[in-house]
Structure 1
Amino acid sequence: MSDLPRKAVTRTAKLAALPLGFAGRATWGLGKRIGGRSAELVAREVQQRTADQLFKTLGELKGGAMKLGQALSVFESALPEEIAGPYRAALTKLQEAAPPLPAATVHAVLAERIGEDWREYFLEFEDKPSAAASIGQVHRGVWHDGREVAVKVQYPGAGEALLSDLTQLSRFARLLGPLVPGMDIKPLIKEMRDRVSEELDYELEAQAQRVHAEEFADDPDVVIPGVVHQSDQVLVTEWMDGVPLADIIAEGTAEQRDRAGQLLARFLFSGPARTGLLHADPHPGNFRLLPPAEDRDETDSSDEGGAEAGPWRLGVLDFGTVDRLPGGLPATIGESLRMTLEGDAAGVYGLLRAEGFVKESIDLEPDEVLDYLLPIIEPAQVEEFTFSRGWLRDQAARIADPRSPAHQLGRQLNLPPSYLLIHRVTLSTIGVLCQLGAAVRLRDELEAWLPGFVAESEEAEEPDEPAFTPGSQEPEPESVPEGGA
């Protein structure tokens, strides 16, 4: 592949072929059923063939098409194993790689966005990309001061491709529904469209990453690369090694899986409390598992306390999509979780109605709402919960089955716009935890970081702890060689 296929007619033709392929396979499946094969077996084969075509096309196109593929890939745990298994490798590949742009195109972007003398910024620059994703690819280099860096270059025409893809995909979103039971694809695509401008703005991404890097600079568990240089369509950050989370999912040890899961949950809930920002792209390609820092006290990393005492740290990449939450996650989430665990059906129902989760025109039975929520929050009911594909499949089947009470009730609930991104990030993170099969003490993280989860009376009994606050000072501008941009 020599360039990002960004001509609207080319991309539209490829995407338009998807629903035609879906229809053809449905006809083929009908013929198989008439021929005597069971409906269940035929449906699984049709679904598998559909997924094969879908993810192959999304991966080739990059842009919004591949971005949707990445978002869907974290939910493969919800599919029956006999369907998910054959194309799990394709989903993982989407998270880590895509066909690269040629070096000449990359050099042209660097010359245009940094300056004709862009090579003076680097002691070394590798033309072959180390990673490629939906709107840009990453090259490894050595900055002029000797630091190893990651250079993210945005694909030419990425904005146009993103909007074109998502518009086209939204037209047949309902056909993608069966790939992820219990999930409505159309709102996901709409939310992606609404955030296109943020995704393309590397200045906003640099600001979000600087805030996180400063706040987590001395954190023993989470590592955020610092921002080295930023210009339009080019972002240079510190290089971060480590084991991609996709590799941990595929072949990690139980200790690595548990450690990664614990820290992923911790980052999800602590990030908004500490920075006022929610990292909103939690697919495995954006995380690494890192060995301990060289200067870390060895006694800390050798304690025998299970996954929590393990030496591995979580590295976090890509802050192109964030949700701005100045007060942290809404207290309503913590309060409703706590009330649900306490069995306070009336309290939960009143809170959900007040926040708009239950519209004024709809009346529901509070006890039925509680019954709907309890299985979903099972991980918070116990001291330690082992996430698994089987558990997620059960939840998806319960909600997706039109005959189930959970499905009927779920259709009557409403998701307020302010909670949409939080909801998607939480579901995506749960999907990754299930891919990991991690044993996680989720309740510990909720008690530590989620506003409202611990009752005010209980908080009053605890000694005061110093609060985390995001840094208020902007870092000094990065020095560049004379004659730079």
Structure 2
Amino acid sequence: MSDLPRSAAARALKLAGLPFGIAGRATLGLTKRLGGKPAEAVAEELQRRTADQLFKVLGELKGGAMKFGQALSIFEAALPEQLAEPYRATLTKLQDSAPPMPASTVHRVLAEELGPNWRRRLRKFEDVPAAAASIGQVHKARWTDNREVAVKIQYPGAAKALRSDLNQIARVAGLFGALFPGVEVKPLIEELKARVGEELDYEHEAEAQRGFAKAYADDPEIAVPRVLFQTPRVLVTDWLDGRPLSDVIAHGTQAERDHAGLLFVRFLFSGPDRAGLLHADPHPGNFRITPDGRLGVLDYGLVARLPDGFPRHIGTLLRVGMSGDFETVVEGLRREGFIRAGVEIQPEDLYEYLNPFIDPAREKTFKFSREWMRTQFQRITDIRGGSMAMKINLPPSYLLIHRVWSSGVGVLAQLGAEAPFRGELERWLPGFVDDPADEERDLVDA
């Protein structure tokens, strides 16, 4: 039986009951309004209670439910302000916390993975977790050489719960789509399901983390903890002190937000060039600002392997799009498989759809904000934007790249960061800088 908080049947029942619970709250709200309570007050109360129920369930269940909630939390900045406030607290709680598993279960997993004498390796092991997330939790301990380490331990039953939750959430995807207009919920769920095996294998994660750690060793701006030991369900790394990025979002000064935003973009865009890897889970719970001002990066369970760096066509088409030549962009996307044969797209519609990515690249310094992001979401959820979402096809090789770009924009909007982001594109994105010698090569037949 799973050691996650509920059995598979109970978890499925809890998730399946979400729409009915919310519908019941809506009926109650209508009754109150008919009874004379102002419609605006009823709506605000309904929104708050809906958020409390929805994300309380996702957080309590951990597994795929919480992982899906974490993915959604990035898009909180796109909600209208009158809706965002009641959701914000419950959403951000999902980014780096969850109810912990009992110490007895933790000890059992460690004995199974490290052997009955596991305390010889993990000295001064703290039973209370430092962090608990969707498929595992982290404990602080001391390694054999007395250094402080982070011990990541996977929940027993995590694999079954993860798959079951995502299947159940897919059945009620329309509910989440209504709360987050503009976010394509079903493709997000399918992507999470496709990556289950990677995220559950800590040996796979350790390999990716070692690649990043080697590439960023002694970097003055980016901190990647070294991997010391791993099994399929336990991962031991150097401990990394720091202020959670979610705290910078909530309480940081503008200077702190700007600094965090710039390093966040620099890490994401430099990874393919420096390590041949793209960190593909950029929600705030995976980042810290260390005491010496570096960006500490955690959790490498989901990465895209890009040994040749970012595909050059991304930078080239972004640059061409900035010039306003969207007919060329349409043809370039068609060659790359983003637009299937026989599907017709108007260049002006494509501009509206891609503007959230093009806008920040236009100016030397760009200011991200919740207001800007809400404007972008309104653009892509009008009649033309809705049809565009159905016409764009994401080739498998671009799925994680698209996720990182979309999620990264969400995090930057939450931060309200202003920095010279265009310079990072020029530095790290092949094809973005106009090079006449490469122009013909980039835009001829792919």
CA distance in 2, matches of 1:430, 1:60: 27
Contact 1:142 1:148 in 2 (8 A): yes
Q: 1:422 to 1:408 in 2, by over 3 A?
A: same
Paired position in structure 1 for 2:157:
157
* 1:133 to partner: Cα distance: 0.3
Report the more deviating stretch, 207-216 or 171-180: 171-180
- Say whether the 8 Å CA contact 1:398–1:407 is kept in structure 2: no
Match of 1:82 in 2: 82
- The aligned counterpart of 2:202 is 202
Counterparts of 1:367 and 1:161, CA distance in 2:
44
Q: What secondary structure, in the 3-state scheme, does the structure 2 residue paired with 1:454 have?
A: coil
- What per-residue deviation string (whole Å, max 9, x for no partner) do you get for residues 13-36 of structure 1? 211111211322343455456667
Within 5 A, what are the aligned runs for 1:99-110?
A: 99-110=99-110
1:211 counterpart = 2:201: no
Once residues 44 and 397 of structure 1 are traced to their aligned partners in structure 2, the CA distance between those partners, rounded to angstroms, is 21
User: Are 1:139 and 2:139 an aligned pair?
Assistant: yes
Counterpart residue number, 2:121: 121
The answer to whether 1:363 aligns with 2:375 is no
User: Following the alignment from structure 1 to structure 2, what is the Cα–Cα distance between the partners of residues 407 and 38?
Assistant: 32
Q: Equivalents in 1 of 2:317, 2:33: separation in Å?
A: 47
Aligned to 1:445: 424
Quote the Cα distance in structure 2 between the aligned partners of 1:265 and 1:88. Answer: 23
SS in structure 1 of the partner of residue 308 of structure 2: coil
Partner of 1:281: 281
Equivalent of 2:388, from 401, 405, 409?
409
CA distances 1:437-478 after superposition (whole Å, capped 9, x unpaired): 100211111001111111333789xxxxxxxxxxxxxxxxxx
CA contact (8 A) 1:341 1:374 kept: no
Once residues 45 and 337 of structure 2 are traced to their aligned partners in structure 1, the CA distance between those partners, rounded to angstroms, is: 40
Which whole-Å CA distance do the structure 2 matches of 1:235 and 1:246 have between them?
A: 24
Q: Is contact 2:352-2:380 (8 Å) kept?
A: no
> Following the alignment from structure 2 to structure 1, what is the Cα–Cα distance between the partners of residues 209 and 145?
21
1:104 offset after TM fit, Å? 0.8
Q: Equivalents in 2 of 1:281, 1:149: separation in Å?
A: 22
**Does the CA-based 8 Å contact 2:355-2:376 persist in structure 1?**
no
Secondary structure in structure 2 of the residue aligned to 1:123: coil
Say how many residue pairs are matched.
Answer: 438
SS of corresponding position for 2:391: coil
Aligned equivalent of 2:269:
269
Q: What is the deviation of 1:376?
A: 4.2
Q: How does 1:161-180 map to 2 (within 5 A)?
A: 161-180=161-180
2:276 touches 2:305 (CA, 8 Å); kept in 1?
yes
The answer to whether the 8 A contact 1:142-1:149 is kept is: yes
Q: In the alignment, is the contact (CA less than 8 A) between 1:3 and 1:102 conserved in 2? A: no
Distance 1:371 1:285 in 2: 31
Q: Is the 8 A contact 1:287 1:314 kept in 2?
A: yes
Contact 1:382 1:443 in 2 (8 A): yes
Determine the C-alpha separation between the residues in 2 that align with 1:42 and 1:60.
Answer: 27
SS of the residue aligned with 2:95? helix
Residue 429 of structure 1 aligns to a residue whose secondary structure is: helix
Distance 2:123 2:22 in 1: 50
Find the counterpart in structure 1 of residue 62 from structure 2: 62
In the TM superposition, what are the counterparts of 1:347-426 in structure 2 within 5 Å?
A: 347-374=328-355, 376-402=357-383, 405-426=384-405
Distance in 2 (CA, whole Å) between partners of 1:172 and 1:148 is 43
Retained in 1: the 8 A contact 2:290–2:296? yes
**What is the CA deviation profile of residues 402-441 of structure 1, one whole-angstrom value per residue up to 9, with x for unaligned ones?**
4xx3333343322223222211121111111111110021
Give the aligned partner of residue 443 of structure 2: none
1:56 match: secondary structure: helix
Q: Residue 15 of structure 2 corresponds to which residue in structure 1?
A: 15
Cα offsets for 1:291-344 (capped at 9, x unmatched):
32xxxxxxxxxxxxxxxxxxx210000001111122222222111110011222
- Counterparts of 2:41 and 2:391 in 1: how far apart (Å)? 32
Kindly report the root-mean-square deviation, in angstroms, between the aligned alpha carbons of the 2 structures: 2.0
User: Any stretches of 5+ residues in structure 1 without a counterpart?
Assistant: 293-311, 461-485
CA separation in 2, counterparts of 1:47 and 1:19?
14
Please report how far the alpha carbon of residue 346 of structure 1 lies from its aligned counterpart in structure 2 after TM superposition.
Answer: 2.2
How many Å apart are 1:115 and its aligned residue? 0.3
Q: Distance in 1 between matches of 2:9 and 2:389?
A: 39
Secondary structure of 2:142's aligned partner: strand
Residues 392, 44 of structure 1: alpha-carbon distance in 2 compared, 3 angstrom cutoff: farther
Contact 2:3 2:157 survives alignment (8 Å): no
Cα distance change on mapping 1:36 and 1:344 into 2, 3 Å: farther
| Residue identity opposite 1:452 in structure 2 | G
Conserved 8 A contact 2:138-2:150: yes
Equivalent residue, structure 2, for 1:476: none
Any idea what SS the aligned residue of 2:181 has? coil
